[in-house]
Amino acid sequence: MTLPPDPGSKVAEMDPEGRPEVHRSEAPPAAGPADAPAGNARQRITGETAPIPEPQPEAGPAAAPAVQLEGLRAYYGDSMQLKGIDLEFRANEVTAIIGPSGCGKSTLIRCINRMHEEIPGARAEGRVLLEGADVYDPSVDVVAVRRAIGMVFQKPNPFPTMSVFDNVAAGLRLTARRRENLNGKVEEALRGAGLWDEVSDRLGQPGIGLSGGQQQRLCIARSLAVNPEVILMDEPCSALDPIATLKIEELIDELKQRVTIVIVTHNMQQAARVADRTAFMLSGELVEVGPTETIFTKPSDPRTEEYVTGKFG
Amino acid sequence: MSASTHQTETLARFAPSAARRRRDTLARRIVMAGTILALIPLVLILYYLVHKGIGAWSPSFFTSDPTGNTFFGGSKIGGVKSAILGTIEMVALAAAISIPIGIGVAVWLVEYGRDSWFAHTVRFFIDVMTGVPSIVFGLFVYIVLIVGTGSSYAGYKGSIALALLMLPIVTRSAEVVLLLVPNGLRESALALGAPRWRVIGRVVLPTALPGMLTGMLLAVARAAGETAPLLFTAAAANATTLNLRAFMNSLPVQIYNDITKPTDAVVERAWGAALTLVLMILILNMVARLLARRNRLA
């Protein structure tokens, strides 16, 4: 059983068996061995039986959890934007969500940390399981969910009144975490976001004085500072130039040692570069999910093939 | 045909016609004339203020209270110290009442009330309040706090009337500025796992502060220049007092009383007081702008 994360592996390295996972009944199974949910098994065990020994990646203290969506529906007022999504984001993997504009990609990830409900009139149904616990359970504190599941937005949005340092510290201060060793935590987060060397001599300067790519990495550092287990990225590079994009992509590759990453992207090349697995969505439905290579080379659904080959979208 | 001739001909295609040029010139002149027309009264007011008021100024003008003796000229009429201090005291108290409430209402409207029917009702009444003549606020306080309680005039009652006047100005301007705070900032703070009240306190309000300061200033300037709400709430007094429960003098009321007197020196004191009032507001304005600039990063 080969399971990520392998600290040495590069991003495009696929699961050698190339297991595709077909979630929607109308989608026929793709080529390759039949469904073997080995990844699922590991996650399902974690809470229930004795912990299985697993290789500890050097970069992170513990393996990140998996996220499972079960029958997730999302509404804006009366219109249903997500029409029942079943999908798993495996631990310490990067899962990319692709699909044409308006297909519900962003809505989907905003449902995972319950940001969707911040929009007036918006609501979600179904279950989002973080390590087996439903984040939509009435007993769950939405604030705690968001501390465990960080988010990076499309537009870099450092807090304009705060310095570089304060922006990163904001996560800790806003959530009233323990303040000791704030300097150390800020440095660690900035290093984690690959920004430390560029900003260590201007921590006191305004965060919005950085370049666009640096601002986005500052935002990543800001979410890293609160030690999330999952990071959701909503088209994090769409406002950045290619060099800045490359840096973020390299960063994503490093971060998956510590966290589970879900990235929404319009850019199919980006999905191919960074994602271990890719999910294709269309009109609020999940068409297909599987190893990135499979999705891009031999997708099982003709709609996926049309999209990834550029016939529409 | 040479290349340059060709270029001239090509450029001629894009040249505006004579009629177009005339219309453009005309429109520019009309707009310019309107601007100058609007500036004329403004400049004249400032000119007359300085021209008529500066003569009343002397060290004792600022350091002595009015004597109440308005029939003799010269230094016997006294200065406006009690009016300056009274205005500062009453407006400060009015600001201390109306600014926290106004910002609280604005935060509720923007962050919580949003499009609910109650929020719309609140907005409607705030708009109505903005249009209420200032003397009505004075009347209201007079009826409730003076006639209603059977007590007398007092500085704090004037402050309450001024606070009522300021409240809609503070609220509406703060609401507009809070709406300008990008939603992405709220979302990213919420996504960090911050409770809503902390997002408002640490991210939304600091971002909106420079803009809100402008609205507060507008309200303070407006209140400092109001006579009507003070006439029968704080009344007028000659002596300087720090007791907000006593009768209290103020610059607008001092001006109102002085300008109707037959003695030239007293009328001149009114002009001097008016110049003082305008200068106080100007200084306050500049200080606030400096503060706002220092608070805004980058």
Closest CA relative to residue B171, chosen from B93, B106, B97, B219: B106
Boundaries of domain holding B111: 63-295
Same domain, yes or no: B101 and B161 = yes
Same domain, yes or no: B174 and B38 = no
Nearest CA in chain B to A142: B193
pLDDT interval class at A236 (50, 70, 90): very high
Count how many pairs of residues, chain A against chain B, have C-beta atoms within 8 Å: 87
List the domain boundaries for chain A: 61-308
Interface of A with B (CB under 8 A): 113, 115, 118, 120, 143-148, 150-151, 153, 155, 157, 159-163, 170-171, 173-176, 206, 208-209, 219, 222-223, 226
Is residue B11 one of the residues assigned to a domain? no
Q: How far is B92 from chain A (nearest CA, A)?
A: 27
pLDDT in tens, A241-276: 898 899 899 999 999 998 999 999 988 899 999 999
Give the CATH number of the domain where residue B70 resides.
1.10.3720.10
- pLDDT tops 60 at residue A132: yes
- pLDDT tops 80 at residue A60: no
The answer to whether residues A74 and A104 touch, using CB atoms and an 8 Å cutoff, is yes
Of A8-12, A45-49, A159-163, A171-175, the one with minimum mean pLDDT is: A45-49
Nearest CA in chain A to B203: A159
Q: Tell me, what's the pLDDT at A313?
A: 66
E-strand spans in chain A? 67-76, 79-89, 94-98, 122-130, 133-134, 149-152, 230-234, 260-264, 277-282, 285-291
pLDDT in tens, B16-26: 888 899 999 99
The reply to whether residue A161 touches residue B198, judged by beta carbons under 8 angstroms, is no
Same domain, yes or no: B148 and B44 = no
- pLDDT tops 90 at residue B42: yes
pTM of the model: 0.79
Q: May I ask the CATH architecture of the domain A61-308?
A: 3-Layer(aba) Sandwich (3.40)
Percent of chain A with pLDDT over 90: 62
Interface test with B, best of A112, A153, A157, A262 (most B CBs within 10 A): A157
Residues of A in contact with B195 (CB under 8 A): 143
Same domain, yes or no: B187 and B280 = yes
Query: What is each CA distance from B207 to B58, B169, B287, in whole angstroms?
Result: 43, 20, 19
Is residue B260 one of the residues assigned to a domain? yes
Nearest CA in chain A to B293: A161
Same domain, yes or no: B178 and B196 = yes
Same domain, yes or no: B51 and B137 = no
Q: Is A286 helix (H, G, I), strand (E, B) or coil?
A: strand
Same domain, yes or no: B39 and B182 = no
Report how far apart the first and last C-alpha atoms of chain B are (Å, whole number). Answer: 56
Same domain, yes or no: B76 and B96 = yes
Total domain count, chain B: 2
Is residue B80 one of the residues assigned to a domain? yes
Same domain, yes or no: B195 and B214 = yes
Nearest CA in chain B to A169: B192
Token pair listed for A157: 């949005």
- pLDDT tops 70 at residue A33: no
Same domain, yes or no: B67 and B186 = yes
Is residue B4 one of the residues assigned to a domain? no
Is residue B13 one of the residues assigned to a domain? no
pLDDT in tens, B97-144: 999 999 999 999 999 998 899 999 999 999 999 999 999 999 999 999
Q: Tell me, what's the pLDDT at B74?
A: 58
Same domain, yes or no: B286 and B230 = yes
Q: Kindly provide the b/e burial profile for residues B95-130, where b requires at least 16 CB atoms within 10 angstroms of the residue's own CB.
A: bebbbeebbebbbbbbbebeeeeebeebbeebeebe
Is residue B257 one of the residues assigned to a domain? yes
Q: How far is B33 from chain A (nearest CA, A)?
A: 41
Is residue B123 one of the residues assigned to a domain? yes
Residues of B in contact with A148 (CB under 8 A): 193
Closest CA relative to residue B207, chosen from A83, A303, A207: A207
pLDDT interval class at A165 (50, 70, 90): very high
Nearest to B298 among A170, A208, A226 (CB): A208
Same domain, yes or no: B41 and B177 = no
Between B295 and B221, residue with greater pLDDT? B221
The reply to whether residue A157 touches residue B188, judged by beta carbons under 8 angstroms, is yes
pLDDT interval class at A175 (50, 70, 90): confident
pLDDT in tens, B144-200: 999 999 999 999 999 999 999 999 999 999 999 999 999 999 999 999 999 999 999
Is residue B210 one of the residues assigned to a domain? yes
Residues of A in contact with B192 (CB under 8 A): 146-147, 150, 170-171, 174-175, 222-223, 226
Token pair listed for A2: 């080969």
